[in-house]
Structure 1
Amino acid sequence: MAMSGDAPLRPGMRQTRQRQQVWEAIQRLGGHCTADEITAELQLGRPGFSRSTVYRALEALSTSGALHAVRLGDGPVHYEVAGEEHQHAICQVCHGILHIEHGLVDELERHLEERHRFKPVRTEVVVVGVCDACTRGRALRPTRRRTLDHVHFE
């Protein structure tokens, strides 16, 4: 899905200025952002931008399929631009995020179908652990979640 231009909405859904601003904020933040992070980003230039407006826009964008709402570990829901399905590994120290390549999930789903006659409809995997930088004591605690890898790992 394109990450620029107008926020993609279902036919019949109104394109509002607020929805567009939320869409643009998510793009600036790079995805995996919470409603609070989006609100803070929007309030930098517009102090009156309310959290309830952000939640309404996120609901519309999620309903339209433009965003995925993802629960990463114990924290709040994170939003990311819809695209190729992937799963996540979360560092419990720095809260960094790794993307897990879909091939590994395919293997798990095949196992469930072949060995247990279980047909997965939707798969959500979150692996919690400690990243290499935190294991070596090099990571700084970020102010918001960061993506640890730019390339999916296998």
Structure 2
Amino acid sequence: MRKAPLGPGRRQTEQRRLVWDAIQALGAHCTPEEITARIQAERPSFPRSTVYRALEAFTVAGALRPVRLGAGPTHYEIAGEDHQHAICQVCEGILHLEDSLLEELEEHLEERHRFKPLRTEVLVIGVCDSCARSARPQRQGKRNLEHVHYGA
């Protein structure tokens, strides 16, 4: 895997590289517990505290973004373009939302209310189409939902 992205003055350590590799392997929206479990599968004595310190270093460096996805632990995703999330409360599927509607909201706040948003966080909780159609929907664990657009 590639070198862990850290800011100036931050040391590149083997532990941080292992954490970064685990994050990349797990994909988007991983928790500290998932990262720790992945590393401990090969290195059982790897400390959870090291994972938390590495997450803090990556977040400060701007390489990771902490995300609250409803109740439960903070998830982390590799920083990129801002986006928001919709979560299926049945299967825990995650849909990344386009920011165009949020941009309209921010513009409205600035123009009509003279309020300058610094950060916008939106979490939509509902039921995905697959679970709504299923006679017996089941929790499947985190997964990315398809970006499907219905209607015209």
- Tell me the TM-score normalised to structure 2 length: 0.91
Hey, what does 1:10 align to over in structure 2? 7
Q: Structure 2, unaligned stretches of length 5 or more?
A: none
Hey, what does 2:128 align to over in structure 1? 131
Q: How many residues align structurally?
A: 149
1:19-30 aligned within 5 A = 19-30=16-27
Structure with larger RCO (C-alpha < 8 A, sep 6+)? 1
SS, match of residue 80 in structure 1 = strand
Contact conserved, 1:101 with 1:153, CA < 8 A, in 2? Answer: no
SS, match of residue 58 in structure 2 = helix
Hey, what does 1:141 align to over in structure 2? 139
Name the CA distance, whole Å, in 1 between partners of 2:38 and 2:95.
23
SS, match of residue 69 in structure 1 = strand
Amino acid in the other structure paired with 1:11: P
- Tell me the TM-score normalised to structure 1 length: 0.90
Write out the 4+ residue segments of structure 1 that deviate beyond 4 Å after TM superposition.
Answer: 151-154
Identity %: 64
Q: Structure 1, unaligned stretches of length 5 or more?
A: none
Q: 1:153 to 1:24 in 2, by over 3 A?
A: farther
**Root-mean-square deviation over aligned CA pairs:** 1.7
